[in-house]
């Protein structure tokens, strides 16, 4: 594997709440153009890690560099420019409930770009069609969407400004296996056509097999294993072993080997 530039670089990162430490001197790189899957038990700090990178949770110690910019050293304006270069898909979608799907996708465009309403409409429809929604869905309100459609609409909004990095927080949670599979494939295709880097927090083993280039396992506040799926199957760490070779993981691993 060719070593590409790291677009996100975390060094010695420590995050905690009160007297509880969630991330304990963690080092992790996300390389350009890859889909990194972050896994870990419930409460291992996967979502906290994601929220720390995008700046929603303060860190106690360490450094985070995104797209070559140290997040601790930026001023407000630089930070906003940087935030325009990434998109976030929240676990519950976090669509604005008082706006239609189309307006949700247009929201970042309207705030950040000076383009005509016509182009904005066309781009919103283009993004929606790219994530597999129909023009009829565009005028619906978030409360009228199914779980899968909400995730797709939220992904379209995350992609609105053609970001370089997309953060996905459990993109397939709450979806049926077929929709989840479709969603994995969608992420894969979009990543290839748009050449984006994807940082994905997930629980879904299937996603790890089908969508991710590289996997990082979080346990005890640290990255205990990282690498492609083959490395995971060889890992000796007890949690990694149980996760990938346990009842559910083992089945997928066998299928992968036989295929």
Contact positions vs other proteins (CB under 8 A): 97-98, 100, 102, 109, 112-116, 119, 121-123, 125-127, 129-130, 135-136, 138-139, 141-143, 159, 161-162, 192-195
Cα end-to-end span (Å), the chain: 22
Select 100 or 207, whichever has its Cβ closest to other proteins: 100
Count Cβ atoms below 10 Å from residue 232 Cβ, excluding itself.
Answer: 26
C-beta of 115: minimal distance to other proteins in Å?
5
The residues that bridge with 89 in the sheet, in sequence order, are: 168
Alpha carbon distance 132, 14 (integer Å): 39
Of 64 and 158, CB closest to other proteins: 158
For residue 74, the SS3 value is coil
Shortest reach from residue 44's CB to other proteins, in Å: 25
Q: How far is the CB of 204 from other proteins (least distance, A)?
A: 23
DSSP secondary structure code for residue 218 in this structure:
E
Cβ-based nearer residue to other proteins, 70 or 162: 162
Alpha-helical (H) ranges within the chain are 46-53, 76-83, 101-112, 117-130, 147-158, 177-194, 205-210, 229-234, 238-245, 247-258
Cβ distance to other proteins smaller for residue 114 or 236:
114
Q: Nearest distance from residue 16's CB to other proteins, in Å?
A: 28
Residue 139 or 256 having the CB closest to other proteins = 139
Of 220, 185, 223, nearest in space to 204 by CA:
185
Query: To the nearest whole angstrom, how small is the minimum distance from the Cβ of residue 166 to other proteins?
Result: 13
Which CB, 116 or 258, lies closer to other proteins?
A: 116
- Smallest CA-to-CA distance from 199 within 20, 47, 45 is with 47
Cα–Cα distance, 216 to 219 (Å, whole number)? 10
Strands 61-66 and 6-17 turn out to be antiparallel
Beta carbon of residue 192, minimum distance to other proteins (angstroms, whole number):
6
Instruction: Compare residues 41 and 132 and give the one whose CB is closer to other proteins.
Output: 132
- State the nearest-atom distance from the C-beta of 196 to other proteins, in Å: 10
For other proteins, the closer of residues 39 and 88 by Cβ is 88
Q: Looking at residue 44, what DSSP letter applies?
A: S
How far does CA 51 lie from the centroid of its chain?
A: 11
Q: Nearest-5° angle of CA 152, CA 34, CA 40?
A: 75
CB of 190 to other proteins, least distance (A): 9
Q: Which of 8, 197, 161 is nearest to 85 (CA)?
A: 161
């Amino acid at each position: 594997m060719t070593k590409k530039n790291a677009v996100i670089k975390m060094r010695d990162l420590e995050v905690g709440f009160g007297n509880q430490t969630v991330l304990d001197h963690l080092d992790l790189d996300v390389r350009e153009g890859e889909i990194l899957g972050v896994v870990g038990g419930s409460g291992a700090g996967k979502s906290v890690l994601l929220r720390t990178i995008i700046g929603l949770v303060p860190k106690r110690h360490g450094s985070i560099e995104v797209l070559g910019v140290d997040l601790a050293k930026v001023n407000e304006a630089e930070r906003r420019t940087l935030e325009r270069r990434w998109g976030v898909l929240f676990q519950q979608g976090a669509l604005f409930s008082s706006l239609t799907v189309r307006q949700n996708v247009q929201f970042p465009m309207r705030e950040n770009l000076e383009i005509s309403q016509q182009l904005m409409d066309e781009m919103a429809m283009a993004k929606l069609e790219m994530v597999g929604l129909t023009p009829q869905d565009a005028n619906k309100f978030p409360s009228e969407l199914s779980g899968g459609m909400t995730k797709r609409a939220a992904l379209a909004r995350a992609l609105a400004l053609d970001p370089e990095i997309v953060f996905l927080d459990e993109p397939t949670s709450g979806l049926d296996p077929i929709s989840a599979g479709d969603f994995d494939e969608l992420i894969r295709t979009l990543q290839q056509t748009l050449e984006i880097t994807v940082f994905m927090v997930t629980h879904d083993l299937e996603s790890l097999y089908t969508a991710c280039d590289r996997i990082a396992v979080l346990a005890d506040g640290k990255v205990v294993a990282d690498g492609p799926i083959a490395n995971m199957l060889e890992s000796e760490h007890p949690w990694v072993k149980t996760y990938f070779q346990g009842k559910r993981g083992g089945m997928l691993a066998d299928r992968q080997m036989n295929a």
